[in-house]
Structure 1
Amino acid sequence: MHVPDLEQSRPETTGPESLSQLLGGWRASTDATLPPVAFVVGWLVSGHSIGAGAGAAIAVAVLLAGYRLLRGTRPRAVLLGLLGVAVAATVALRTGRAVDFFLVQLASNAASALAWAVSIVVRWPLLGVVVGAALGQRTRWRRDPDLLRAYCRASWVWVCQYTVRVVVFGVLYAANAVVALGIARVALSWPLVAACVAVSAWVVRRSLPADHPGFRHPRLPAPAN
Protein backbone atom coordinates (compact mmCIF):
# COMPACT_ATOMS: atom_id res chain seq x y z
CA MET A 1 0.00 0.00 0.00
CA HIS A 2 1.32 3.44 -0.92
CA VAL A 3 1.22 5.66 2.15
CA PRO A 4 1.37 9.38 1.37
CA ASP A 5 4.68 10.76 2.62
CA LEU A 6 3.68 14.05 4.18
CA GLU A 7 7.15 15.14 5.26
CA GLN A 8 8.09 15.58 1.60
CA SER A 9 5.42 18.23 1.04
CA ARG A 10 6.49 21.75 0.22
CA PRO A 11 4.61 24.99 -0.27
CA GLU A 12 3.81 25.45 -3.93
CA THR A 13 1.39 27.07 -6.25
CA THR A 14 -1.68 25.32 -7.54
CA GLY A 15 -1.97 22.44 -9.99
CA PRO A 16 -1.52 18.68 -10.11
CA GLU A 17 2.22 18.96 -9.29
CA SER A 18 1.48 20.49 -5.89
CA LEU A 19 -0.96 17.74 -5.07
CA SER A 20 1.59 15.19 -6.24
CA GLN A 21 4.20 16.48 -3.80
CA LEU A 22 1.68 16.62 -0.98
CA LEU A 23 0.96 12.94 -1.58
CA GLY A 24 4.62 11.93 -1.67
CA GLY A 25 5.22 12.07 -5.43
CA TRP A 26 6.88 9.18 -7.23
CA ARG A 27 9.74 8.62 -4.77
CA ALA A 28 7.93 6.52 -2.17
CA SER A 29 6.28 4.40 -4.85
CA THR A 30 9.59 3.79 -6.61
CA ASP A 31 11.28 2.79 -3.36
CA ALA A 32 8.49 0.32 -2.66
CA THR A 33 9.08 -1.52 -5.95
CA LEU A 34 12.79 -2.20 -5.51
CA PRO A 35 12.65 -4.88 -2.75
CA PRO A 36 10.04 -6.99 -4.62
CA VAL A 37 12.14 -6.76 -7.79
CA ALA A 38 15.19 -7.83 -5.77
CA PHE A 39 13.19 -10.76 -4.39
CA VAL A 40 12.23 -11.98 -7.85
CA VAL A 41 15.76 -11.54 -9.20
CA GLY A 42 17.31 -13.33 -6.22
CA TRP A 43 14.76 -16.12 -6.50
CA LEU A 44 15.44 -16.60 -10.21
CA VAL A 45 19.23 -16.36 -10.06
CA SER A 46 19.47 -18.81 -7.16
CA GLY A 47 17.36 -21.44 -8.87
CA HIS A 48 14.13 -20.64 -7.06
CA SER A 49 15.55 -20.30 -3.55
CA ILE A 50 13.10 -18.37 -1.37
CA GLY A 51 15.85 -17.71 1.14
CA ALA A 52 18.01 -16.03 -1.50
CA GLY A 53 15.09 -13.97 -2.74
CA ALA A 54 14.15 -12.92 0.79
CA GLY A 55 17.75 -12.02 1.58
CA ALA A 56 18.04 -9.91 -1.56
CA ALA A 57 14.80 -8.08 -0.79
CA ILE A 58 15.81 -7.33 2.79
CA ALA A 59 19.29 -6.23 1.73
CA VAL A 60 17.86 -3.77 -0.79
CA ALA A 61 15.31 -2.53 1.77
CA VAL A 62 18.07 -1.92 4.32
CA LEU A 63 20.17 -0.02 1.77
CA LEU A 64 17.17 2.10 0.80
CA ALA A 65 16.38 2.75 4.47
CA GLY A 66 19.93 3.92 5.11
CA TYR A 67 19.90 6.15 2.04
CA ARG A 68 16.57 7.73 2.96
CA LEU A 69 17.68 8.36 6.53
CA LEU A 70 20.78 10.12 5.24
CA ARG A 71 18.54 12.19 2.96
CA GLY A 72 16.48 13.33 5.94
CA THR A 73 13.38 11.14 5.60
CA ARG A 74 11.63 10.64 8.91
CA PRO A 75 12.66 7.41 10.67
CA ARG A 76 9.06 6.26 11.11
CA ALA A 77 8.38 6.20 7.37
CA VAL A 78 11.66 4.39 6.74
CA LEU A 79 11.05 1.79 9.44
CA LEU A 80 7.51 1.11 8.21
CA GLY A 81 8.82 0.37 4.72
CA LEU A 82 11.53 -1.89 6.09
CA LEU A 83 9.02 -3.67 8.32
CA GLY A 84 6.72 -4.36 5.36
CA VAL A 85 9.52 -6.04 3.43
CA ALA A 86 10.56 -8.07 6.47
CA VAL A 87 7.00 -9.30 7.02
CA ALA A 88 6.59 -10.23 3.34
CA ALA A 89 9.88 -12.15 3.40
CA THR A 90 8.92 -13.92 6.62
CA VAL A 91 5.56 -15.01 5.18
CA ALA A 92 7.23 -16.48 2.08
CA LEU A 93 9.86 -18.27 4.17
CA ARG A 94 7.26 -19.71 6.53
CA THR A 95 4.93 -20.97 3.80
CA GLY A 96 7.68 -22.10 1.43
CA ARG A 97 5.91 -20.43 -1.50
CA ALA A 98 7.66 -17.61 -3.35
CA VAL A 99 4.34 -16.17 -4.47
CA ASP A 100 3.43 -15.50 -0.84
CA PHE A 101 6.01 -12.71 -0.74
CA PHE A 102 3.31 -10.67 -2.50
CA LEU A 103 0.52 -11.70 -0.16
CA VAL A 104 1.09 -8.76 2.18
CA GLN A 105 0.91 -6.38 -0.77
CA LEU A 106 -2.33 -7.94 -1.96
CA ALA A 107 -3.88 -7.70 1.51
CA SER A 108 -2.74 -4.13 2.08
CA ASN A 109 -4.21 -2.95 -1.22
CA ALA A 110 -7.52 -4.64 -0.43
CA ALA A 111 -7.55 -2.96 2.98
CA SER A 112 -6.70 0.39 1.40
CA ALA A 113 -9.51 0.14 -1.15
CA LEU A 114 -11.96 -0.62 1.66
CA ALA A 115 -10.64 2.16 3.91
CA TRP A 116 -10.87 4.80 1.17
CA ALA A 117 -14.38 3.70 0.21
CA VAL A 118 -15.58 3.78 3.82
CA SER A 119 -14.01 7.22 4.33
CA ILE A 120 -16.11 8.56 1.46
CA VAL A 121 -19.32 7.02 2.79
CA VAL A 122 -18.81 8.54 6.25
CA ARG A 123 -17.93 11.92 4.70
CA TRP A 124 -14.31 11.89 5.85
CA PRO A 125 -12.63 11.31 2.46
CA LEU A 126 -9.03 10.26 3.00
CA LEU A 127 -7.77 12.53 0.24
CA GLY A 128 -9.03 15.48 2.23
CA VAL A 129 -7.57 14.09 5.44
CA VAL A 130 -4.12 13.65 3.87
CA VAL A 131 -4.03 16.98 2.03
CA GLY A 132 -5.55 18.85 4.97
CA ALA A 133 -2.95 17.42 7.34
CA ALA A 134 -0.11 18.27 4.94
CA LEU A 135 -1.31 21.86 4.64
CA GLY A 136 -1.96 22.28 8.36
CA GLN A 137 -5.67 22.83 7.75
CA ARG A 138 -6.72 20.25 10.33
CA THR A 139 -10.46 19.82 9.72
CA ARG A 140 -11.22 23.24 8.24
CA TRP A 141 -11.60 21.71 4.77
CA ARG A 142 -14.66 19.75 5.99
CA ARG A 143 -16.47 23.00 6.75
CA ASP A 144 -16.28 23.91 3.07
CA PRO A 145 -19.15 22.01 1.37
CA ASP A 146 -17.66 22.45 -2.09
CA LEU A 147 -14.24 21.19 -1.03
CA LEU A 148 -15.73 18.29 0.91
CA ARG A 149 -17.72 17.22 -2.15
CA ALA A 150 -14.63 17.57 -4.37
CA TYR A 151 -12.52 15.41 -2.06
CA CYS A 152 -15.25 12.77 -1.91
CA ARG A 153 -15.40 12.54 -5.69
CA ALA A 154 -11.61 12.54 -6.10
CA SER A 155 -11.16 9.87 -3.42
CA TRP A 156 -13.03 7.41 -5.65
CA VAL A 157 -10.08 7.64 -8.04
CA TRP A 158 -7.90 6.21 -5.27
CA VAL A 159 -10.42 3.46 -4.57
CA CYS A 160 -10.18 2.50 -8.24
CA GLN A 161 -6.37 2.51 -8.08
CA TYR A 162 -6.29 0.03 -5.20
CA THR A 163 -9.04 -2.07 -6.77
CA VAL A 164 -7.06 -2.39 -10.01
CA ARG A 165 -4.08 -3.63 -8.04
CA VAL A 166 -6.17 -6.12 -6.06
CA VAL A 167 -7.66 -7.58 -9.25
CA VAL A 168 -4.32 -7.84 -11.09
CA PHE A 169 -2.34 -9.09 -8.09
CA GLY A 170 -5.14 -11.49 -7.17
CA VAL A 171 -5.25 -13.09 -10.61
CA LEU A 172 -1.47 -13.46 -10.76
CA TYR A 173 -1.29 -14.74 -7.19
CA ALA A 174 -3.90 -17.40 -7.94
CA ALA A 175 -1.86 -18.41 -11.01
CA ASN A 176 1.32 -18.67 -8.88
CA ALA A 177 3.01 -16.28 -11.33
CA VAL A 178 5.96 -14.97 -9.30
CA VAL A 179 7.79 -13.20 -12.13
CA ALA A 180 4.59 -11.67 -13.47
CA LEU A 181 3.80 -10.38 -9.97
CA GLY A 182 7.18 -8.68 -9.85
CA ILE A 183 6.54 -7.04 -13.21
CA ALA A 184 3.04 -6.00 -12.18
CA ARG A 185 4.42 -4.59 -8.94
CA VAL A 186 6.56 -2.19 -10.97
CA ALA A 187 3.95 -1.42 -13.62
CA LEU A 188 1.27 -0.67 -11.03
CA SER A 189 3.50 1.40 -8.78
CA TRP A 190 4.62 4.93 -9.63
CA PRO A 191 3.03 5.04 -13.13
CA LEU A 192 -0.36 4.20 -11.62
CA VAL A 193 0.17 6.54 -8.66
CA ALA A 194 1.17 9.38 -11.01
CA ALA A 195 -1.95 8.81 -13.08
CA CYS A 196 -4.08 8.61 -9.94
CA VAL A 197 -2.69 11.88 -8.59
CA ALA A 198 -3.21 13.65 -11.91
CA VAL A 199 -6.78 12.41 -12.31
CA SER A 200 -7.75 13.11 -8.71
CA ALA A 201 -6.29 16.63 -8.98
CA TRP A 202 -8.33 17.15 -12.14
CA VAL A 203 -11.48 15.88 -10.41
CA VAL A 204 -10.92 18.26 -7.48
CA ARG A 205 -10.50 21.24 -9.82
CA ARG A 206 -13.51 20.28 -11.94
CA SER A 207 -15.67 19.75 -8.87
CA LEU A 208 -14.98 23.16 -7.36
CA PRO A 209 -16.98 26.20 -8.47
CA ALA A 210 -15.20 28.60 -10.80
CA ASP A 211 -14.92 31.25 -8.06
CA HIS A 212 -13.45 28.87 -5.46
CA PRO A 213 -9.94 29.85 -4.27
CA GLY A 214 -8.67 26.24 -4.45
CA PHE A 215 -7.91 23.34 -2.13
CA ARG A 216 -5.26 25.36 -0.26
CA HIS A 217 -7.88 27.89 0.81
CA PRO A 218 -11.07 26.34 2.23
CA ARG A 219 -14.01 28.68 1.91
CA LEU A 220 -15.60 28.65 5.36
CA PRO A 221 -19.21 29.63 6.00
CA ALA A 222 -19.76 33.04 7.51
CA PRO A 223 -20.17 32.95 11.30
CA ALA A 224 -23.70 33.29 12.54
CA ASN A 225 -24.57 36.63 14.13
Structure 2
Amino acid sequence: MPVTATAPQPTPAAPVYDTVEAAVRAQLAKAFGGKRGTVEAAVPTITFTLAWITTEQLQLSLILSGGIAAVLLVARIVQRSTPQFVLNSLFGIGIGAFFALRSGKAEDAFLPGMLWIAVVEAIMIFSILVRWPFMGFMLGATNPEDPLAWHRDKGIVKLCTKVSWIMVLPGLIKLTVQIPLYLAGQVVWLGIAKIALGWPVYLAALATVGWVLARGRTAMRPAVS
Protein backbone atom coordinates (compact mmCIF):
# COMPACT_ATOMS: atom_id res chain seq x y z
CA MET A 1 0.00 0.00 0.00
CA PRO A 2 1.61 3.31 -1.01
CA VAL A 3 2.48 5.73 1.74
CA THR A 4 1.43 9.30 1.15
CA ALA A 5 3.97 11.79 2.38
CA THR A 6 2.55 14.51 4.59
CA ALA A 7 3.63 17.95 3.57
CA PRO A 8 5.36 19.82 6.39
CA GLN A 9 3.26 22.48 8.01
CA PRO A 10 4.53 25.99 7.32
CA THR A 11 6.04 27.81 10.27
CA PRO A 12 3.99 30.87 11.18
CA ALA A 13 5.76 33.94 9.89
CA ALA A 14 6.85 36.59 12.33
CA PRO A 15 4.71 39.74 12.21
CA VAL A 16 5.95 42.36 9.76
CA TYR A 17 5.88 46.01 10.81
CA ASP A 18 6.45 49.06 8.66
CA THR A 19 7.80 51.21 11.48
CA VAL A 20 9.72 50.76 14.72
CA GLU A 21 6.90 52.50 16.58
CA ALA A 22 4.34 49.93 15.37
CA ALA A 23 6.60 47.06 16.44
CA VAL A 24 7.14 48.53 19.93
CA ARG A 25 3.40 49.11 20.38
CA ALA A 26 2.66 45.51 19.43
CA GLN A 27 5.29 44.12 21.78
CA LEU A 28 4.08 46.25 24.70
CA ALA A 29 0.51 45.06 24.20
CA LYS A 30 1.74 41.47 24.15
CA ALA A 31 3.89 41.92 27.27
CA PHE A 32 1.11 43.43 29.39
CA GLY A 33 -1.60 40.98 28.38
CA GLY A 34 -4.18 43.50 27.28
CA LYS A 35 -7.26 44.42 29.33
CA ARG A 36 -7.85 40.89 30.60
CA GLY A 37 -4.28 40.48 31.80
CA THR A 38 -4.60 43.80 33.63
CA VAL A 39 -7.75 42.67 35.44
CA GLU A 40 -6.28 39.29 36.33
CA ALA A 41 -3.28 40.97 37.93
CA ALA A 42 -5.37 43.42 39.96
CA VAL A 43 -8.30 41.32 41.23
CA PRO A 44 -6.34 39.12 43.72
CA THR A 45 -4.76 42.20 45.33
CA ILE A 46 -8.14 43.91 45.57
CA THR A 47 -9.57 40.76 47.17
CA PHE A 48 -6.76 40.56 49.74
CA THR A 49 -7.08 44.24 50.65
CA LEU A 50 -10.88 44.18 51.01
CA ALA A 51 -10.73 40.95 53.04
CA TRP A 52 -8.12 42.47 55.37
CA ILE A 53 -10.16 45.67 55.81
CA THR A 54 -13.24 43.59 56.64
CA THR A 55 -11.77 40.86 58.85
CA GLU A 56 -8.13 41.74 59.71
CA GLN A 57 -7.47 38.00 59.47
CA LEU A 58 -4.27 37.30 57.57
CA GLN A 59 -4.86 33.64 56.70
CA LEU A 60 -8.43 34.23 55.51
CA SER A 61 -7.36 37.19 53.38
CA LEU A 62 -4.61 35.13 51.76
CA ILE A 63 -6.95 32.18 51.15
CA LEU A 64 -9.56 34.39 49.49
CA SER A 65 -6.93 36.12 47.37
CA GLY A 66 -5.42 32.81 46.26
CA GLY A 67 -8.88 31.36 45.69
CA ILE A 68 -9.96 34.09 43.30
CA ALA A 69 -6.67 33.71 41.41
CA ALA A 70 -7.32 29.96 41.14
CA VAL A 71 -10.80 30.62 39.74
CA LEU A 72 -9.31 32.95 37.12
CA LEU A 73 -6.76 30.26 36.25
CA VAL A 74 -9.47 27.62 35.80
CA ALA A 75 -11.38 30.01 33.53
CA ARG A 76 -8.26 30.41 31.37
CA ILE A 77 -7.74 26.66 31.17
CA VAL A 78 -11.39 25.97 30.29
CA GLN A 79 -11.22 28.59 27.54
CA ARG A 80 -7.87 27.21 26.37
CA SER A 81 -6.26 30.64 26.46
CA THR A 82 -2.82 31.46 27.83
CA PRO A 83 -2.74 31.30 31.65
CA GLN A 84 0.55 33.24 31.84
CA PHE A 85 -0.75 36.35 33.57
CA VAL A 86 -2.91 34.44 36.08
CA LEU A 87 0.03 32.17 36.89
CA ASN A 88 2.22 35.24 37.47
CA SER A 89 -0.39 36.58 39.89
CA LEU A 90 -0.80 33.22 41.63
CA PHE A 91 2.96 32.84 42.01
CA GLY A 92 3.17 36.32 43.52
CA ILE A 93 0.39 35.51 45.98
CA GLY A 94 2.16 32.31 47.01
CA ILE A 95 5.47 34.06 47.70
CA GLY A 96 3.71 36.89 49.52
CA ALA A 97 1.76 34.40 51.64
CA PHE A 98 5.00 32.63 52.60
CA PHE A 99 6.57 35.89 53.79
CA ALA A 100 3.44 37.06 55.63
CA LEU A 101 2.66 33.75 57.37
CA ARG A 102 6.26 33.32 58.41
CA SER A 103 6.45 36.75 60.07
CA GLY A 104 2.79 37.02 61.08
CA LYS A 105 2.69 40.55 59.62
CA ALA A 106 0.15 41.28 56.90
CA GLU A 107 2.35 43.99 55.38
CA ASP A 108 4.93 41.32 54.51
CA ALA A 109 2.52 40.00 51.88
CA PHE A 110 3.58 43.03 49.84
CA LEU A 111 7.33 42.70 50.49
CA PRO A 112 8.21 40.19 47.71
CA GLY A 113 6.47 42.37 45.12
CA MET A 114 8.40 45.43 46.29
CA LEU A 115 11.70 43.55 46.20
CA TRP A 116 10.91 42.25 42.71
CA ILE A 117 10.12 45.75 41.46
CA ALA A 118 13.38 47.03 42.96
CA VAL A 119 15.41 44.34 41.17
CA VAL A 120 13.62 44.88 37.86
CA GLU A 121 14.01 48.65 38.12
CA ALA A 122 17.75 48.27 38.77
CA ILE A 123 18.14 46.04 35.71
CA MET A 124 16.07 48.38 33.55
CA ILE A 125 18.05 51.47 34.56
CA PHE A 126 21.36 49.63 34.11
CA SER A 127 20.34 48.61 30.58
CA ILE A 128 19.66 52.25 29.71
CA LEU A 129 22.91 53.52 31.21
CA VAL A 130 25.00 51.04 29.23
CA ARG A 131 23.10 52.04 26.05
CA TRP A 132 21.34 48.70 25.62
CA PRO A 133 17.83 49.88 26.63
CA PHE A 134 15.54 47.01 27.53
CA MET A 135 12.84 48.19 25.12
CA GLY A 136 15.26 47.41 22.32
CA PHE A 137 15.17 43.74 23.24
CA MET A 138 11.39 43.79 23.00
CA LEU A 139 11.80 45.24 19.54
CA GLY A 140 14.41 42.61 18.73
CA ALA A 141 11.87 39.89 19.48
CA THR A 142 10.07 40.89 16.28
CA ASN A 143 13.17 40.00 14.25
CA PRO A 144 14.16 36.43 15.23
CA GLU A 145 16.69 36.21 12.39
CA ASP A 146 18.75 39.07 13.85
CA PRO A 147 17.34 40.11 17.25
CA LEU A 148 20.19 42.58 17.89
CA ALA A 149 19.89 44.43 14.59
CA TRP A 150 18.12 47.32 16.34
CA HIS A 151 21.28 48.21 18.27
CA ARG A 152 23.18 49.00 15.08
CA ASP A 153 20.82 51.88 14.30
CA LYS A 154 21.48 54.98 16.44
CA GLY A 155 18.01 56.35 15.74
CA ILE A 156 16.33 53.21 17.01
CA VAL A 157 18.59 53.10 20.08
CA LYS A 158 17.64 56.70 20.86
CA LEU A 159 13.93 55.94 20.49
CA CYS A 160 14.17 52.81 22.67
CA THR A 161 16.10 54.76 25.30
CA LYS A 162 13.40 57.43 25.48
CA VAL A 163 10.62 54.83 25.72
CA SER A 164 12.58 52.82 28.31
CA TRP A 165 12.90 55.83 30.64
CA ILE A 166 9.14 56.34 30.47
CA MET A 167 8.52 52.68 31.40
CA VAL A 168 10.94 52.96 34.35
CA LEU A 169 8.90 55.71 36.03
CA PRO A 170 5.90 53.63 37.28
CA GLY A 171 8.11 51.31 39.33
CA LEU A 172 10.05 54.20 40.86
CA ILE A 173 6.82 56.00 41.79
CA LYS A 174 5.37 52.83 43.30
CA LEU A 175 8.44 52.14 45.45
CA THR A 176 8.64 55.76 46.60
CA VAL A 177 5.10 55.51 47.97
CA GLN A 178 5.06 51.89 49.18
CA ILE A 179 8.34 51.76 51.11
CA PRO A 180 7.27 54.33 53.77
CA LEU A 181 3.87 52.63 54.06
CA TYR A 182 5.53 49.24 54.53
CA LEU A 183 7.86 50.57 57.21
CA ALA A 184 4.86 52.09 59.00
CA GLY A 185 2.89 48.83 58.77
CA GLN A 186 0.01 50.46 56.88
CA VAL A 187 -1.52 47.33 55.32
CA VAL A 188 -4.68 48.94 53.95
CA TRP A 189 -2.80 51.82 52.36
CA LEU A 190 -0.24 49.38 50.96
CA GLY A 191 -3.04 47.53 49.19
CA ILE A 192 -4.58 50.74 47.93
CA ALA A 193 -1.19 52.01 46.74
CA LYS A 194 -0.42 48.72 44.99
CA ILE A 195 -3.67 48.93 43.03
CA ALA A 196 -3.71 52.69 42.42
CA LEU A 197 -0.03 52.88 41.52
CA GLY A 198 0.04 49.58 39.67
CA TRP A 199 -1.85 49.18 36.42
CA PRO A 200 -3.32 52.72 36.33
CA VAL A 201 0.17 54.23 36.42
CA TYR A 202 1.52 51.66 33.96
CA LEU A 203 -1.39 52.39 31.65
CA ALA A 204 -0.58 56.10 31.92
CA ALA A 205 3.02 55.30 31.04
CA LEU A 206 1.84 53.18 28.11
CA ALA A 207 -0.37 56.04 26.94
CA THR A 208 2.63 58.36 27.10
CA VAL A 209 4.71 55.83 25.19
CA GLY A 210 1.89 55.54 22.65
CA TRP A 211 1.88 59.31 22.22
CA VAL A 212 5.64 59.35 21.73
CA LEU A 213 5.49 56.50 19.24
CA ALA A 214 2.54 58.01 17.38
CA ARG A 215 4.57 61.17 16.70
CA GLY A 216 7.38 59.29 14.96
CA ARG A 217 7.69 56.99 12.00
CA THR A 218 11.09 55.32 12.21
CA ALA A 219 11.26 53.00 9.21
CA MET A 220 11.99 49.33 9.80
CA ARG A 221 14.94 48.52 7.59
CA PRO A 222 17.42 45.69 7.44
CA ALA A 223 20.74 46.33 9.12
CA VAL A 224 23.74 46.94 6.89
CA SER A 225 26.21 44.07 7.10
TM-score > 0.5 by shorter chain: yes
Measured in 2, the distance between the counterparts of 1:198 and 1:59 equals 32
Q: Among residues 103, 106, 115, which one is paired with 2:111 in the alignment? A: 103
1:117 has 2:125 as partner: yes
Q: 2:48 is matched with which residue: 8, 29, 39?
A: 39
Where does the alignment leave 5 or more consecutive residues of structure 1 unmatched? Answer: 1-9
- 1:52 alignment partner, SS class: helix
Q: Compare CA radii of gyration and give the structure with the larger one.
A: 2
**Cα distance, 1:197 vs structure 2:** 1.3
* Residue 55 (str. 1) matches residue 59 (str. 2): no
Q: How many residues align?
A: 207
Sequence identity (%): 28
Are residues 202 and 61 of structure 1, via their aligned partners in 2, closer, same or farther at CA, if it must alter by over 3 Å? same
Name the structure 2 match of 1:220: 223
CA distance in 1, matches of 2:16, 2:87: 26
Could you report, residue by residue, the CA deviation over 1:128-178 in whole angstroms, capped at 9, with x for unpaired residues?
212332564622222222111110121011221110011111121122111
Counterpart position of 2:187: 178
User: Hey, what's the Cα distance between the residues in 2 that align with 1:177 and 1:78?
Assistant: 26
Letter in 1 for 2:196: A
Deviation, structure 1 residue 12:
7.9
Query: What pairs with 1:55-94 in structure 2 (closer than 5 Å)?
Result: 55-75=63-83, 77-94=85-102
- Give the Cα–Cα distance (whole angstroms) in 2 for the partners of residues 202 and 19 of structure 1: 16
Cα gap change, 1:189/1:29 in structure 2, threshold over 3 Å: closer, same or farther?
farther
The answer to whether the Cα contact below 8 Å between 1:102 and 1:181 also exists between their aligned partners in 2 is yes
For residues 90-135 of structure 1, give each alpha carbon's deviation from its aligned partner in whole angstroms, at most 9, with x where no partner exists.
2111111111111111111111211110111222211121233256
Q: Tell me, which stretches of 5 or more residues in structure 2 are unaligned?
A: 1-14
TM-score between the two structures when normalised by the length of structure 1: 0.79
Partner of 2:4: none
Partners of 1:21 and 1:135 lie apart in 2 by 17
TM-score (norm 2): 0.79
Correspondence 1:7-26 to 2 at 5 A: 14=22, 18=26, 20-24=28-32, 25-26=34-35
Q: Which residue of 2 aligns with 1:148?
A: 157
